[in-house]
Structure 1
Amino acid sequence: MGKVNVCLKRSYIMVISVIATLSALMLAVTLFTHGRFSRVDDETETMLPGLQLMYSISIITLILAIIGVYGACKEKKWALIMFAVGMILGTLFLIASDIQALAQRPKVAEHLKMHYMMLQNNASGITDDLRDVHIKFQCCGLDQGYLDWGYDIPESCLCTEESTNPCVAAPRNSSLFEHMIDDQPIMIYKESCLPYFIVHVMRVIDATIGIILGVILLWISSVVLCIFILCRLSKKEDVPVVVYSSEAKAGNYTALTDTAEHT
């Protein structure tokens, strides 16, 4: 069994330590998210498949990292082989997920538009989700702006002093003027929310794809280092060959023979 270079072993352990830290953080975030949304049954059922996937990835990766560190420290081939095989399978899964996310990206905008239009049409009034969208993106309505609400324009469409998006005067025949005494105009957000929301979701998707790509590169580097260590362990050390020489043996006894003759 050959000796592993110290720098190679330290580099491998350093990369695995980063992977283990990220896996532990991912597990902590998953536990926090699960606990936060466990109070709402509908949201928990919707997010359960994603949470289960995050649990599986974080726990399996953490176990593989521990096995990989053990294999490097003790120079155990079986542990290093198990780590390499597991990380290769995980890398292939992440690559497939990244490709699928890129393929589904153009369809996300249409899906979001249909979802929120149905939500707006089926709701008797403004929902908490739509209210949060109005406030966060400083907009009103989804498709045609405040016209989507007709007479019942929600108060979440009102412009504030910190508003940066353009505002317009609300129609006089809207519900916002029911309790108004003076004739001062009421300013509401002019633009619809759907374009802002789609851009925001696309940025989140792009950031997620970038993070997955970074994780893939990190995992590939750990597999490459692991394979190098396995190659070093499989390499046999050069043992010096012992050669029998009759001349050398004769030379050792020549001096003794000559001395005996002279005596």
Structure 2
Amino acid sequence: MGKLNIYVKWSYIIVASLLAIVSTVILARTLFYHGYLHKHEEIDKMLPGFIVMYVIFIITLLLPIIGVYGARKEKKWALIVFTVGMILCTLVMLNSERQQLTIRPEIAERVKANYRGFLPLSNASMNDIENLKYIQMELQCCGLDQGYQDWGYNISESCLCLQDSTNPCVEAPKNSSLSHRKHDQPIMIYKEPCLRYLIQLALAAINFVIGIEWGLILIWTLSVVLCIIILCQLRQKEDTPPVVYSAEAKSGNYSILTETADYS
């Protein structure tokens, strides 16, 4: 069994420990969101995704523990288990990345279909109206598809432009429900519809998830490479100094160091 390079060994231990910490954090957040959304109407559709997250990050939490044990004790079987397991997890994550990149163009259509179900706003449920009002205040927009026109006469007060607004504003129609608020100056409301910002927000969330997953894949790949290097070092035989025999090293080939004393 060969001798491990101390720098490679500790680099692997640090990367594997970081991997375990990241997996623990993600697993904890997954548990939190699962508990938070357990009463959501579409929890049944989300459940397969939660199960996949649990399986992947429990495995990626256990494998670094096995790998660090293998590196510390120089156990080949533990390092092989880590390498094979992490390669399989990386392949699963790469497949997930491919699927997300494939469905990314569909996200905009899904968001449109979901929020266009609110229209016309005059027939929308109270829950949908309150949700839209919150969106308008947070994203500084008005209406969904056609801007303030989606509200008809009764334009929501959540469409009113704030003084520090960064989004464009327009003057509210004179015949709208907001016209009674001020008569000495025009009433300004947000110009842009919210659907555009909702789509941008959804795509930004997808891009963020994809970026996190690519970061995980890079860490996983680095840990696998370091582990393979350690396995290669363990397979190398230690160099033993060659034994050299000398022709002079024979029995009896020694000189007497002292002479026999003369007692005569």
TM-score band w.r.t. shorter chain: 0.7 to 0.9
Which amino acid in the other structure matches residue 255 of structure 1? Y
Provide the TM-score with structure 2 as the length reference.
Answer: 0.86
Query: 1:11 aligns to what SS in structure 2?
Result: helix
- Return the alpha-carbon distance in structure 1 between the equivalents of residues 95 and 181 of structure 2: 61
- Deviation track 1:71-110 (CA, whole Å, cap 9, x = no partner) reads 1111111110000001101111111111222222222112
Q: CA deviation at 1:3?
A: 1.0
- Deviation track 1:164-196 (CA, whole Å, cap 9, x = no partner) reads 22222333443445xx47645543211111112
Q: Which residue of 1 aligns with 2:138?
A: 136
- Deviation track 1:20-74 (CA, whole Å, cap 9, x = no partner) reads 1101111121122223223x33153343333222222221110011111111111
Query: 1:163 aligns to what SS in structure 2?
Result: coil
- Return the alpha-carbon distance in structure 2 between the equivalents of residues 70 and 99 of structure 1: 33
Give the paired residue count. 256
Structure-to-structure mapping, 1:225-240, within 5 angstroms: 225-240=226-241
Structure-to-structure mapping, 1:5-84, within 5 angstroms: 5-38=5-38, 40-84=39-83
Q: CA deviation at 1:243?
A: 5.7
Which amino acid in the other structure matches residue 213 of structure 1? W
Query: 1:120 aligns to what SS in structure 2?
Result: coil
Which amino acid in the other structure matches residue 87 of structure 1? M
Greater helix share, 1 or 2?
1
Which amino acid in the other structure matches residue 171 of structure 2? A
Structure-to-structure mapping, 1:86-235, within 5 angstroms: 86-121=85-120, 123-125=124-126, 126-176=128-178, 180=180, 183=183, 185-235=186-236
Which amino acid in the other structure matches residue 117 of structure 1? R
- Deviation track 1:7-29 (CA, whole Å, cap 9, x = no partner) reads 11000001011101101111121
Query: 2:253 aligns to what SS in structure 1?
Result: helix
Query: 2:30 aligns to what SS in structure 1?
Result: helix
Uncovered stretches (5+) of structure 1, i.e. residues with no partner: none
Which amino acid in the other structure matches residue 159 of structure 1? C
Which amino acid in the other structure matches residue 193 of structure 2? S
- Return the alpha-carbon distance in structure 1 between the equivalents of residues 41 and 64 of structure 2: 35
Uncovered stretches (5+) of structure 2, i.e. residues with no partner: 259-264
- Return the alpha-carbon distance in structure 1 between the equivalents of residues 35 and 103 of structure 2: 29
Which amino acid in the other structure matches residue 34 of structure 1? H
- Return the alpha-carbon distance in structure 2 between the equivalents of residues 12 and 65 of structure 1: 10
| Bigger Cα displacement from structure 2, 9-18 vs 93-102 | 93-102
